[in-house]
Amino acid sequence: MTRDLPRYHAAVWDEPVVLELGRPGRRGFLAPEPEPDVRADVDALLPPGVRREAPPALPELSEFEVQRHYLHLAQMTLGMMGINLFGTCTMKYNPRVNERVTARPELAEVHPGQPEETLQGVLEVVHRFERILRELSGMERFVFQPGGGADAAYTHACITRAYHASRGELERRTEVITTIQTHPCSAATAAAAGFDVITLPLGPDGYPTLESLKAAVSDRTAALMVGNPDDMGIYNPEIKQWVEAVHEAGGLCFYDHANFNGVMTRIRARELGFDACMYMLHKTFAGPKGGGGPAVGAYGCAEHLVPFLPRPLVEERDGRYGLDHDGPQSIGRVREYWGNVPVVVKAYSWVRALGAEGLRQAADLSVIANNYMETRLLEIPGVTKSHPQIAAHRLEMTRYSLEQVTEETGIDVHDIQNRMVDYGVDAPWLAHEPWLIPQPITPEPGELWSKEDIDTWIDVLAAVVQEAHDDPERVRTAPHNQAIHQVDASGVDDPDQWATTWRAHLRKRAAA
């Protein structure tokens, strides 16, 4: 049943960037003068060569102006609260309580370089969370240094090198096997670590055949790096045989567990035979997004790979916690200190709030929600799903194709994306490269959204598909109700136009 669609129009402010606001001398906060002892310490510790000659060119604003500026910006976005069903790796709501927990001074005001005796609380949380992941995966140890999923894949690629080098086999083991539907970070990081990459194509069941894997495996195989279920929600039921085939040839097996949500508490990577795995704390575990830097790709491995892990490891002895830096075979750090510890604390807080039962319910709910959504989405004329011949239910997401809609109306998924946001819902995420399925979308409801929200999102898509037939121009020229309309992205590829800092922008503008 189609209900009333949300009525929405974003606020439109002609808002300058913050660096263009304010006036010299305006203040929101006056920092007190440092005490003489502190001043003397700073003078002694900071060599003259690194001291600024002039204050930084920061905008000078009152507190009120700062608040107003960010309120205006917030009013012009959906703020990830417009019902976002971003598929391919579970973008979740970040509960506010987790922000409160990490803002506590015991965490926010400590530094990882402090003496360990003064870091007992935070070390305990990191250690406890590691034990939770060990339970969920069956792995022996975890590290939280990688700043995202791709960083964790890179950690594995480096550990693969170190492991085979330690056995005198690195020169021979030059190949990493992956699949076309595994996230490209596996292939990319294997190549970055110096391996040749073999990418297996899909078979008729939506995953590569076991025969194709066996044909690729040889004594040159260094590792298999694979995601399961893949970004189409298809689970490879032969995965144990895959792992066995790679192990028989002496290779390692790495499990990209970014799509863990639907199988949480139901399968353990180690029990499937994997040597190592990766979880996204910024996705499955409800931490804030931001791959590749401000996030955490938790990397776990079995006993035989522990010597190669980045150090330090957090150890517990008689109720006290410490950092073990001793790792002569370690690959070294993949980032500073122990990684983004606040994200670890948020993930810990989320897991403790749910408990073991709650995690299982979340997994089951995410699968039920997806299958409910699949039933309704396939009722929309022109919406089909990938590999319809597969009888098994998809897990936490399903890949659909809007190819028929495009053929009948000329409207493609980007147009539909632009039009959906006019109804105040977040449009589907389209990072589905390579587009094996034409005009793909992969909404993923997870466990969070209510049935009404899921229904609203589906109703919006149905309405936009109908509009594509009735008034294609309205869809092609969308968005109409957003603060800005279609963005001209051509400058993104032009180094004369883009600038990554305000100073670079001013320099380029002056030169132009």
The residue among 184 and 472 lying less far from ligand PLP, judged by its C-beta, is 184
Shortest distance (Å) from residue 255 CB to ligand PLP: 11
Q: Which of helix, strand or coil describes residue 279?
A: strand
Q: Report the residue from 85, 176, 263, 280 that binds ligand PLP according to the rule CB under 6 A.
A: 280
Considering only residues 400-419, where is the footprint of ligand PLP by CB under 6 A? none
Shortest distance (Å) from residue 242 CB to ligand PLP: 17
Q: Report the residue from 150, 286, 380, 454 that binds ligand PLP according to the rule CB under 6 A.
A: 150
Residue 162, by phi and psi: left (phi above 0), alpha (psi -120 to 50) or beta?
Answer: alpha
- Exposed (0-12), middle (13-18) or buried (19+): which is 50, by Cβ within 10 Å? exposed
The residue among 125 and 153 lying less far from ligand PLP, judged by its C-beta, is 153
Which residue in the block uniquely carries the two structure tokens 């979340």? 362
Q: How many helices (H) and strands (E) does the chain have?
A: 15, 12
Q: Report the residue from 139, 295, 347, 373 that binds ligand PLP according to the rule CB under 6 A.
A: 295
Shortest distance (Å) from residue 323 CB to ligand PLP: 25
Q: Phi and psi of 385, rounded to 5°?
A: -115, 155
3-state secondary structure 400-411: EECHHHHHHHCC
Strands (E), 172-216: 175-179, 196-200
Q: What whole-number distance in Å separates Cα of residue 142 and Cα of residue 134?
A: 7
Shortest distance (Å) from residue 152 CB to ligand PLP: 8
Q: What whole-number distance in Å separates Cα of residue 329 and Cα of residue 308?
A: 5
The residue among 88 and 386 lying less far from ligand PLP, judged by its C-beta, is 88
Q: Does 440 bind ligand PLP (CB under 6 A)?
A: no
Segment interacting with ligand PLP (CB under 6 A) among 246-254, 289-297, 461-469, 475-483: 289-297
> For residues 123 and 322, is the Cβ–Cβ distance under 8 A?
yes
Q: Which of helix, strand or coil describes residue 69?
A: helix
The residue among 288 and 382 lying less far from ligand PLP, judged by its C-beta, is 288
Question: What residue is closest to ligand PLP based on CB?
Answer: 291
Q: Does 88 bind ligand PLP (CB under 6 A)?
A: yes
Q: Does 297 bind ligand PLP (CB under 6 A)?
A: yes
Q: What whole-number distance in Å separates Cα of residue 395 and Cα of residue 304?
A: 31
Shortest distance (Å) from residue 56 CB to ligand PLP: 31
Q: Could you tell me how many residues of this chain bind ligand PLP (CB under 6 A)?
A: 17
The residue among 15 and 230 lying less far from ligand PLP, judged by its C-beta, is 230
Q: Does 187 bind ligand PLP (CB under 6 A)?
A: no
> For residues 170 and 194, is the Cβ–Cβ distance under 8 A?
no
Q: What whole-number distance in Å separates Cα of residue 26 and Cα of residue 398?
A: 53
**Distant-in-sequence, close-in-space partners of 418: CB < 8 Å, separation ≥ 6:** 427, 475, 478, 479, 486
Q: Report the residue from 83, 89, 343, 362 that binds ligand PLP according to the rule CB under 6 A.
A: 89
Q: Does 339 bind ligand PLP (CB under 6 A)?
A: no
Structure tokens at 342: 């606040």
Segment interacting with ligand PLP (CB under 6 A) among 143-151, 307-315, 334-342, 474-482: 143-151
The residue among 259 and 261 lying less far from ligand PLP, judged by its C-beta, is 259
Strands (E), 378-450: 384-385, 400-401, 440-441
Structure tokens at 330: 């370690």
Q: What whole-number distance in Å separates Cα of residue 261 and Cα of residue 356?
A: 14
Considering only residues 189-208, where is the footprint of ligand PLP by CB under 6 A? none
The residue among 290 and 322 lying less far from ligand PLP, judged by its C-beta, is 290
3-state secondary structure 134-146: HHHHCCCEEECCC
Q: What whole-number distance in Å separates Cα of residue 449 and Cα of residue 443?
A: 12
CB-CB neighbours of 452 under 10 Å: 10
The residue among 130 and 231 lying less far from ligand PLP, judged by its C-beta, is 231
The residue among 175 and 444 lying less far from ligand PLP, judged by its C-beta, is 444
Q: Does 462 bind ligand PLP (CB under 6 A)?
A: no
Q: Does 224 bind ligand PLP (CB under 6 A)?
A: no
Q: Does 149 bind ligand PLP (CB under 6 A)?
A: yes
Q: Report the residue from 85, 119, 177, 185 that binds ligand PLP according to the rule CB under 6 A.
A: 185
The residue among 202 and 462 lying less far from ligand PLP, judged by its C-beta, is 202
Q: Report the residue from 291, 382, 428, 443 that binds ligand PLP according to the rule CB under 6 A.
A: 291
The residue among 123 and 258 lying less far from ligand PLP, judged by its C-beta, is 258
The residue among 256 and 447 lying less far from ligand PLP, judged by its C-beta, is 256
Q: Report the residue from 164, 183, 394, 399 that binds ligand PLP according to the rule CB under 6 A.
A: 183
Q: Does 227 bind ligand PLP (CB under 6 A)?
A: yes
Considering only residues 231-270, where is the footprint of ligand PLP by CB under 6 A? 231, 256, 258-259
> For residues 405 and 411, is the Cβ–Cβ distance under 8 A?
yes
Chain-centroid distance, C-alpha 53: 40
Q: What whole-number distance in Å separates Cα of residue 178 and Cα of residue 197?
A: 7
> For residues 458 and 452, is the Cβ–Cβ distance under 8 A?
no
- Residues at the interface with ligand PLP (CB under 6 A): 88-89, 148-150, 183, 185, 227, 231, 256, 258-259, 280, 291-292, 295, 297
